[in-house]
Amino acid sequence: MGQTLAQKIIQAHLVEGDMTPGKEIAIRIDQTLTQDSTGTMAYLQFEAIGIPRVRTELSVAYIDHNTLQTGFENADDHHYIQTVAKKYGIRFSKPGNGVCHQVHIERFAVPGKTLLGSDSHTPTCGGIGMLAIGAGGLDVAVAMGGGAYWLTMPRMVQINLTGKLRPWISAKDIILEVLRRLSVKGGVGRIMEYTGEGIASLTVPERATITNMGAELGATTSIFPSDAETRRFLAAQGREEVWQACAADSDAVYDETLTIDLSELEPLVAKPHSPDLVVPLREVGPLKVDQVAIGSCTNSSYMDMMKTAAILRGRTVHPEVSLVIAPGSRQVLNMLAGNGALSDMIAAGARILESACGPCIGMGQSPRSNAVSLRTNNRNFYGRSGTASAQVYLVSPEVAAASALSGVLTDPRVLGEAPPVQMPDHFFINDNLIIDPAPPEEKVEVVRGPNIKPFPVNRPLGAELSGKALIKVEDNITTDHIMPSNAKLLPYRSNVPYLADYCLTPCDPEFPARAKQEGGGMIIAGANYGQGSSREHAALAPLQLGIRAVLAKSFARIHMANLINNGILPLTFMQAEDYDTIDLMDELLIEQADEQVRNLVSQGTLTVLNKTRNKPITCSLPLSPRQAEMLLAGGLLNVTRKGE
Ligand code: MIC
Ligand code: SF4
C-alpha cells in the first residue's frame, strides 16, 4: 500500500511505536527553532535538563516576538538567549532579522526533514515539504538534547486542489476556505496534506501561508510536496543543493479527502473572534475600517509585500485609516528598499514596522476602542490585539491594501487588473544577523537578568488529589485566554509567578485570587480547550496557582501535551453532559489518584468524584506508559532529572 508524504517522512524518522492513528509514536528531530517569547523558558528547561550541547543537525534561536523594549526585561531575555545559544551550539537570529517562520523557510528549511519549534506556526515550513511541528518549550528542549519527539500518530487528510486561482484571489482565501469547511477543531489529530494539479501554480510563500494557518485548524501539521516550484524557490535562496523531490505515492491512502476548486474561490473574511468564522467578503456588508495591519508570519513574504506595494503605488491611505506594514524578514525589507516598493508604501502613508510579530501578538499597534481592524494575521482571538473591544477581521493582503485605501472593507477586484508580481530569480542574501555559536571548547558565560525567576515544578502525584472547581469555561478557550499575551505581559515570559496573576482573567478576573485562596484546585472546560499558541505558560501559570487537573470536553493537541509535561491531568469527560453537572466551587476528588493514573495505561478511564453532589464522573485519558510515568513523577522535568 502506498504512503502519504507525511507517513514517508515519519517512517524515515521513526524511533519508537507503530504508525497506527491514535497510537503514541516517537520521531527523530533534525532541526529545532525557538522564538523569544517561548524560548527563554525552553532554554531554562534545557539548562535544567543539563545537556552539554545541542545534538540536532541545526537549532536556531530567533528573537522576533518581544521586540518592544520599553524596559530592561525583553532586552535582558534576548541577552540570555544569545548567551545560551552561543554556549550550547545554537544559531542566533538577532532582533530585526525577522519572524522565525519566514526566516526559517527562507534560509534553513529542508524538504523531507523534521523540524520541531516552540511556536504553533512552525508548520509554515511544511510549505517547502518539511514535516514541521509546533510543540511546548520543554518538548523542544528535549529534542535539542537529541531526545525523540513523542506525538500521537495523526490521521491523514488529503486536501486536493484543482483549478487555478483567479486574479486577486490569494492563498489566504484558500486556507480561509479550509477553515470555513473544517472549523478550528477540524484538524485535531490530523495532518493536512495538499495534493492535486492546483498546487503547481502556487509559489512556496503561498503554500507557506496555507500550512501556517493549518495551526488554526488544530492540525498536527500541514505539508505540500517538494516539486519543481520548491526547487526554484530554494535556488533563488542560493540553497538549491538541499532540494530533493518529495511527494506521496500515487496509490497513497488517506483517511479523509477534501477537494477545493481554486477557480471557484472568492475573497473571504474571518470575522471576530475566531479564524473559522469565515464568510465571503460580499456578505459582510458595508464595514468602516479604522486600522489595517499587513504582516505577521502568515502574509509577510516578498510576494505579499510586492502585491501590497503595487496596490498602494501612487495612491493615499484613507484619512481615517491607520495602515501598518511589517515585512516578515529583513531579506524582504531589504529587497523592498532596493527596488523602490518600500518607497511606494511610505509615500502612500503606510507606517512601516520592524520585521517582527508586532501587532499580531499585541506588541504595539493596539487599535483604538471599538475599532475595526483588518489584519493579514492568522489569529483574531478575543483581546489578542491588546484592545478588548476591537473587532479584528482576517483577510488577504490584497483585501487589506484595497481597504486601507477606501476606508471600508473592499473587494480588491474593483481596482481593475491585478498587478503582475513575479517571484524573483534571486533573493537578496545576507545572513549577517545570524550569529554562529562558539566552538565547543570555548567557555561561555550565560547571563541571566533580574527578570528571570524560578519556574514552578510539580510534585509527584500522591494517593489523593482533591480540589474545588475553581473556574468553569466554555468551548474553544484559547491559550490567549489562559495566559494572555500583550505588550505589558510578554516581558514577563521568564517570570511565571508574575504571569500567574493574569491566568484566565479574560474569562474571570477573580480566578487567580480564588485559586490562591483555595491553595489550588481544578479547571472545568468545554471542547477544544487550549487551542492556539504553543505557549507552555498556559500550563505553567495554572501550575503556579496549584491547578492539578483540568476536566474538559476535549483538548487542543499542544496544550494537552504541555499539561502532561507539567504533571497536570488533562481529563476528558466520557459523557459531555457531565460538564453540566459541575458547578463552580463544587468539591472534586480523585481517590487513589496514583493508582488510577497507573491504570490509565490499560483502562484509559478514571473516576472523579463530585463530592458536593456525590456523583462519580468517568473521564478518559488514554496514556502510554511513558505519559503515565510523567504524570506520576509530576512532569517531564522530574522524569528527565530522575534518569540522570
Ligand atoms: C502566537 O501566535 O500566539 C505566538 C505568540 O506566536 C505563540 C507563541 C507564544 O505564545 O509565545 C504560538 O503561536 O505558539
Ligand atoms: Fe508571531 Fe503572530 Fe506568527 Fe505568532 S502568529 S509567530 S505572534 S507573527
Mean pLDDT by 10 residues, the chain (644 residues): 96 97 97 97 93 96 97 97 98 98 98 98 98 98 96 98 98 98 97 98 98 98 98 98 98 98 98 98 97 98 98 98 98 98 98 98 97 98 96 98 98 97 97 98 96 94 96 97 95 97 98 98 98 97 98 98 98 98 98 97 97 98 95 93 63
Type of residue numbered 66: N
Type of residue numbered 552: A
| C-alpha of residue 139 to centroid of ligand 1, in Å | 15
Q: What's the distance, CA 640 to chain centroid?
A: 25
| C-alpha of residue 437 to centroid of ligand 1, in Å | 25
Q: Which ligand is nearest to the CA of 135?
A: 1
Cell, residue 466: 482533591
Judge if the beta carbon of residue 119 lies within 6 A of ligand 2.
yes
Q: Residues 569-577: contacts with CB within 8 Å, 24+ apart?
A: 569/465, 569/597, 569/621, 569/631, 570/621, 571/606, 571/608, 571/619, 571/620, 571/621, 572/619, 572/620, 572/621, 573/617, 573/618, 573/619, 574/605, 574/618, 574/619, 574/620, 575/618, 576/527
Angle between helices 593-603 and 625-633 (to 10 degrees): 170
Numbers of helices and strands, H then E, in the chain:
20, 27
Nearest CA owner, ligand 1 atom 13? 533
Q: What residues pair up with 256 in beta bridges, in sequence order?
A: 157
Q: Which ligand is nearest to the CA of 537?
A: 1
| C-alpha of residue 120 to centroid of ligand 1, in Å | 6
Chain segment 77-100, per-residue pLDDT in tens: 999 999 999 999 999 999 999 999
Q: Which residues line ligand 1 (CB under 6 A)?
A: 37-38, 65, 119-121, 361, 379, 485, 532-535
What are the structural domain ranges in the chain?
5-264, 268-412, 464-643
**What span, in angstroms and rounded, lies between the C-alpha atoms of 385 and 327?**
18
**What span, in angstroms and rounded, lies between the C-alpha atoms of 473 and 160?**
37
Cell, residue 536: 507552555
Q: Which pLDDT belongs to residue 644?
A: 55
Q: Cis before residue 13, ω within 30 degrees of 0?
A: no
Q: Which ligand is nearest to the CA of 485?
A: 1
Closest ligand 1 atom number to CA of residue 65: 5
* 92-107 burial: b if 16+ Cβ within 10 Å, else e: bbbbebbbbbbbbbbb
* 140-165 burial: b if 16+ Cβ within 10 Å, else e: bbbbbbebbbbbbbbbbbbbbbebeb
| C-alpha of residue 209 to centroid of ligand 2, in Å | 12
Contact in structure between 574 and 522 (CB atoms under 8 Å): no
The greatest distance separating any two alpha carbons of the chain, rounded to the nearest whole angstrom, comes to 72
| C-alpha of residue 314 to centroid of ligand 2, in Å | 30
The CA–CA distances, whole Å, from 253 to 178, 256, 282, 476, 581 equal 20, 9, 37, 31, 42
Q: Which pLDDT belongs to residue 353?
A: 98
| C-alpha of residue 122 to centroid of ligand 2, in Å | 10
| C-alpha of residue 580 to centroid of ligand 2, in Å | 35
Closest ligand 1 atom number to CA of residue 119: 14
Which of 300, 353, 360, 392 is the pocket-test mutation for ligand 2 (most atoms within 8 Å of CB)? 360
User: What is the fold of 268-412?
Assistant: Aconitase; domain 3 (3.30.499)
Q: Which ligand is nearest to the CA of 479?
A: 1
Residues in Cβ contact with 155 at an 8 Å cutoff, skipping those fewer than 6 apart: 21, 189, 190, 191, 255, 256
Nearest CA owner, ligand 1 atom 7? 533
| C-alpha of residue 211 to centroid of ligand 2, in Å | 14
Q: How many other CB atoms are there within 10 angstroms of residue 418's CB atom? A: 17
Q: How many other CB atoms are there within 10 angstroms of residue 464's CB atom? A: 11
Query: Do the strands 391-394 and 434-435 form a parallel or antiparallel pair, or are they unpaired?
Result: unpaired
Contact in structure between 197 and 294 (CB atoms under 8 Å): no
Q: Which pLDDT belongs to residue 641?
A: 73
**Domain 5-264 bears CATH identifier 3.30.499.10:** yes
**What span, in angstroms and rounded, lies between the C-alpha atoms of 359 and 384?**
9
Judge if the beta carbon of residue 524 lies within 6 A of ligand 2.
no
Q: Are domains 268-412 and 464-643 of this chain identical in fold? A: no
Judge if the beta carbon of residue 297 lies within 6 A of ligand 2.
yes
**What span, in angstroms and rounded, lies between the C-alpha atoms of 516 and 502?**
12
Closest ligand 2 atom number to CA of residue 533: 4
Q: Which pLDDT belongs to residue 76?
A: 96
The CA–CA distances, whole Å, from 551 to 458, 529, 582 equal 18, 10, 10
Nearest CA owner, ligand 2 atom 1? 357
Q: Which pLDDT belongs to residue 81?
A: 98
Q: Exposed, middle or buried: residue 424 (CB in 10 Å: 0-12, 13-18, 19+)?
A: middle
| C-alpha of residue 356 to centroid of ligand 2, in Å | 8
| Nearest to 106, CA basis, from 120, 125, 86, 123 | 125
- Cα Rg, the chain, nearest whole Å: 24
Nearest CA owner, ligand 1 atom 4? 533
Judge if the beta carbon of residue 375 lies within 6 A of ligand 2.
no
Contact in structure between 353 and 326 (CB atoms under 8 Å): yes
Q: Which pLDDT belongs to residue 643?
A: 60
| C-alpha of residue 357 to centroid of ligand 2, in Å | 5
SS3 508: coil
Q: Which pLDDT belongs to residue 484?
A: 96
Q: How far apart are the first and last CA of the chain?
A: 42
Residues in Cβ contact with 540 at an 8 Å cutoff, skipping those fewer than 6 apart: 41, 455, 456, 496, 499, 566
**What span, in angstroms and rounded, lies between the C-alpha atoms of 437 and 445?**
13
Closest ligand 2 atom number to CA of residue 35: 6
Q: Which pLDDT belongs to residue 173?
A: 98
| C-alpha of residue 14 to centroid of ligand 1, in Å | 27
Type of residue numbered 227: D
Closest ligand 1 atom number to CA of residue 379: 2
CATH architecture of 464-643: Alpha-Beta Barrel (3.20)
Which of 65, 301, 394 is the pocket-test mutation for ligand 2 (most atoms within 8 Å of CB)? 65
Nearest CA owner, ligand 2 atom 3? 297
Query: Do the strands 372-375 and 291-294 form a parallel or antiparallel pair, or are they unpaired?
Result: parallel
**What span, in angstroms and rounded, lies between the C-alpha atoms of 33 and 145?**
13
For the entire predicted model, the pTM comes to 0.98
Q: What's the distance, CA 305 to chain centroid?
A: 22
* 549-572 burial: b if 16+ Cβ within 10 Å, else e: bbbbbbbbbbbbbbbbbbbbbbbb
Q: What's the distance, CA 397 to chain centroid?
A: 20
| C-alpha of residue 60 to centroid of ligand 2, in Å | 17
DSSP string, 569-580: EEEEESSGGGGG
| C-alpha of residue 361 to centroid of ligand 2, in Å | 6
Q: Which pLDDT belongs to residue 642?
A: 63
Nearest CA owner, ligand 1 atom 1? 533
Q: Which ligand is nearest to the CA of 41?
A: 1
Judge if the beta carbon of residue 376 lies within 6 A of ligand 2.
no
Residues in Cβ contact with 608 at an 8 Å cutoff, skipping those fewer than 6 apart: 549, 551, 571, 588, 589, 590, 616, 617, 619
| C-alpha of residue 360 to centroid of ligand 2, in Å | 6
